[in-house]
Structure 1
Amino acid sequence: MNMIIFRRGENMLQIILFLFMGLLFLISLLFELFLTIRCMVLKRKGKDRGKLHKKMKSSLIISLTLFICIFAGGILSQLSAYTPKIKDSQGNAVQGSIAELRKVELNGREEWISIRGNSLNNPILLFLAGGPGGSQIAAVRYNLEELEKNFIVVNWDQPGSGKSYNAIDAEDISIDTYIEDGEALTTYLCSEFGKEKIFMVGESWGSALGVFLAKNDPQNYYAFIGTGQMVDFLETEKIDYNLAIELANKNNDNKKVEKLINNGEPPYYGSELLGKSTEYLNYLGSYMIHNEKIHNAGYQTLRDISASEYGMLDKINYLRGLMDVFGTFYPKLYNVDLRKQYSEIDVPVYFFQGRHDINAPAKLVQEYYDTLKAPSKDLIWFEHSGHSPWINENELFIENLLKIRNQYASDYK
């Protein structure tokens, strides 16, 4: 799992502040509307409320004007969303580069991708975001920009997330939804850019999706790189839950221990899933933030959500996707155990694993690696990373990814 507001160690206060600002505006608008309606009712009853009416009318006009401006601005922001041009050291656009947001139709669903690269001659790298329901179009651009020099980096907002939030109702999303759309997107990219195969990186939830895709259509991929690799979703939740209790006991955090014990061990379902999962996922995220052995531990959600790739509605759906899709889809993963169901893949597989990752237990990753049969495989440990080596040690992450790219250079040149 890779919920930014849960697993990623994001500062919850930032997200609360973002939501609180929007809530304040809504409350103020409703309050102004209430006072104006009250004034109108009093006047109809024959009471002289001229001054109050005049004041409320002026206030309503201001509020409505503000609302219209925000509404119009929201539409304009959606239409003007863009991904920045790729520029050289002098600030000039790189000739022959590509930098665009593109809406694609996948199995009848309208979904969005970003495409960025210095040259169309480079191989394609498809990045599968975590979540489920996460959008990392901006986060990948900020953290892995160097990859654009050697790949055409494609970032996919999966159905129900970010810019693709409205592609499908969250309740209707199944594992097959992601697999079918991932296969359709791979076919589209190969056809659009004249490639026979592509590289694929999956992080957290995306690491499981990448395994599904590689298993189903190995002929489409040079290699799969999983980071923050998920293996057995239900066992992971139980391990994380018990680890949170262990850490809380060490910290003498008796209230947290009591809360976790009262919630009971996962699995959780329905309306209780989000709240109960938050109790231990946030605790583990906070622990990694304060782990001095992890470099650059924090996510920068406000930076990412403010990026030019997201219009105003996208920014709202950025958060809605995380909460809605997680709450409805995650239990559908409880029966997934890659060690048993995906023990053989006809694609080279590489795991980039943070040594201090307590979200995707190292024990499970090692067991899966030992079990896995693939044309070639490697488990690379990142000694100063938690769940996100691509952020914690992004330079080393890029370096290792380029080594893998170069192994297959003769195939795509």
Structure 2
Amino acid sequence: MLVVGVFIFILLVLALCSLVLLIKFFVFLFKRLRGQKTAFLTKGIKKGVLGMLVVITLGIILIVATQLTAGTPKIAGENSIAELRAVQLNGRKEWISIRGENRNKPLLLFLAGGPGGSQLAATRFELAKLEKDFVVVNWEQPGSGKSFSAISRKQLTPEIYVKDGTSLVRSLLKEFKQEKLYLVGESWGSALGIFMAKERPDLYHAFMGTGQMVAFEETEKIDYALALKLAKKNGDQKVVDTLRKNGEPPYYGRSVTTQSAVYLNYLNQIMARNPEIQNAGFQTIRDLSAKEYGLLDKVNYLRGILQTFNQVYPQLYGIDLRKGYLKLEVPVYFLLGRHDMNAPVDLAEDYYDQLEAPAKEIIWFEHSGHSPWINERERFVEVVRQIAEKTK
């Protein structure tokens, strides 16, 4: 992660400067300690403290400057909109991006994966063509990226996401004078979208889920077993040993993220090597380099993935959409990657078969894994447009 590396490098430089000043200070003390007047010691202390204050001040200025200059690139056109703004949702300061070539086009809200994931830049790069037909809104959910500090991690619950997401939707509809919007969710966002659609179906034209999550604990157990099977087959003994040491999920405590990452990252690596999957993987360096993130945001980008996931994911183990979410009053579309190893498509198909909705459809992406919106972005955009035409 190049940008994170640059940020760490800056911090190391600042730390090194402080260390050099401290060394000089102690050398100064050593030379003058014997038989020297207190004035010399006082002078040395003042120099050391002053130097450290200068270094700390410069670091703070640098961080604040990058935070204040963060933004989203402009879109040409008199009636276009391109904003990165803070919003108040139930007393919490959270961030959204709003992008569209015509602010009068239908609203589309994108729900990122995670919990704790930030995809402000990723959606701008991958789904830029949607900005021609929609006003695309990307919500930095509490505990992720620019909204990392919106709420204490210990207070985060799935209900908070639903509550804040619904408040955001109502605010957007009021501002843009529209009655409904399109809801698109990926991975964790696909489950969150179902929760929101169940809560207030009157707010949505349709829901589109990709990398569709259905049953969280069952998914983790399937993923674990698959990773263990493939690691044995491929002779990746280190992965086998780590998986066995961690044991089968669900996990609890402070190591949920790192333990889950063993099998999730292994499956991601296998998908990335699958020749049937196009444009495999996230471009983290590109995304972290984006204008939307200041230096502090870049750090929080990673903290969200690590800390928020650790806090929220165990709360999802008991959720199965086949229990309590079998009847939705909005059209539902699952945009599934044929080679998805992270969210078992068998579970999505089972849920689909039992689901009651005004309209429903599974649309397969034959050259995709867990992220059709990245793997086959051109087709993904076209499918979203077609769904919008059918449900407007």
TM-score over 0.5 (shorter chain): yes
Indicate whether 1:276 and 2:265 are aligned.
no
For residue 34 of structure 2, what is the aligned residue in structure 1?
46
For residue 298 of structure 2, what is the aligned residue in structure 1?
315
Q: Which amino acid aligns with 1:82?
A: G
Question: Residue 323 of structure 2 aligns to a residue in which SS?
Answer: helix
Contact kept, 8 Å, 2:21 with 2:51, in 1: the verdict is no
Question: Residue 182 of structure 2 aligns to a residue in which SS?
Answer: strand
Q: Percent identity?
A: 53
Match of 2:92 among 80, 105, 109: 109
Q: Which amino acid aligns with 2:20?
A: E
Q: Cα–Cα, structure 1 residues 26 and 366, in superposed 2: closer, same or farther, change >3 Å?
A: farther
Query: Displacement, 1:235?
Result: 0.6
Distance in 1 (CA, whole Å) between partners of 2:22 and 2:129 is 53
Question: Residue 339 of structure 1 aligns to a residue in which SS?
Answer: coil
Indicate whether 1:35 and 2:18 are aligned.
no
Structure 2: 5+ residue stretches without partners:
37-42
Contact kept, 8 Å, 2:118 with 2:301, in 1: the verdict is yes
Contact kept, 8 Å, 2:95 with 2:140, in 1: the verdict is yes
Question: Residue 314 of structure 1 aligns to a residue in which SS?
Answer: helix
For residue 121 of structure 2, what is the aligned residue in structure 1?
138
Query: Displacement, 1:123?
Result: 0.5
For residue 132 of structure 2, what is the aligned residue in structure 1?
149
Q: Cα–Cα, structure 1 residues 161 and 39, in superposed 2: closer, same or farther, change >3 Å?
A: same
Query: Displacement, 1:275?
Result: 2.4
For residue 39 of structure 2, what is the aligned residue in structure 1?
none
Give matches, 1:298-313, under 5 Å. Answer: 298-313=281-296
Give matches, 1:242-391, under 5 Å. Answer: 242-391=225-374
Indicate whether 1:24 and 2:7 are aligned.
no
Query: Displacement, 1:120?
Result: 1.8
Distance in 1 (CA, whole Å) between partners of 2:49 and 2:340 is 52
Q: How many residues align?
A: 391
Query: Displacement, 1:339?
Result: 1.0
TM-score w.r.t. length of structure 2? 0.93
Q: Which amino acid aligns with 2:235?
A: N
- Ranges of 4+ aligned residues in structure 1 off by more than 4 Å: 13-20, 54-67
Distance in 2 (CA, whole Å) between partners of 1:269 and 1:14 is 31
Q: Which amino acid aligns with 1:83?
A: T
Give matches, 1:169-184, under 5 Å. Answer: 169-184=152-167
Could you give the per-residue CA deviations for residues 74-124 of structure 1, whole angstroms, max 9, x where no partner exists? Answer: 1122112111111xxxxxx21100000111100000111000011122100
Query: Displacement, 1:24?
Result: 3.2
Could you give the per-residue CA deviations for residues 129-180 of structure 1, whole angstroms, max 9, x where no partner exists? Answer: 0010111111000000000000000000001111111110111100110000
Distance in 1 (CA, whole Å) between partners of 2:351 and 2:2 is 36
Distance in 1 (CA, whole Å) between partners of 2:59 and 2:255 is 34
Question: Residue 279 of structure 1 aligns to a residue in which SS?
Answer: helix
Give matches, 1:34-113, under 5 Å. Answer: 34-43=22-31, 45-46=33-34, 65=54, 67-86=56-75, 93-113=76-96
Query: Displacement, 1:310?
Result: 1.1
Q: Cα–Cα, structure 1 residues 345 and 47, in superposed 2: closer, same or farther, change >3 Å?
A: farther
Query: Displacement, 1:262?
Result: 1.6
TM-score w.r.t. length of structure 1? 0.88
Q: Which amino acid aligns with 1:71?
A: I
Distance in 2 (CA, whole Å) between partners of 1:320 and 1:139 is 17
Contact kept, 8 Å, 1:32 with 1:60, in 2: the verdict is no
Q: Which amino acid aligns with 2:27?
A: C
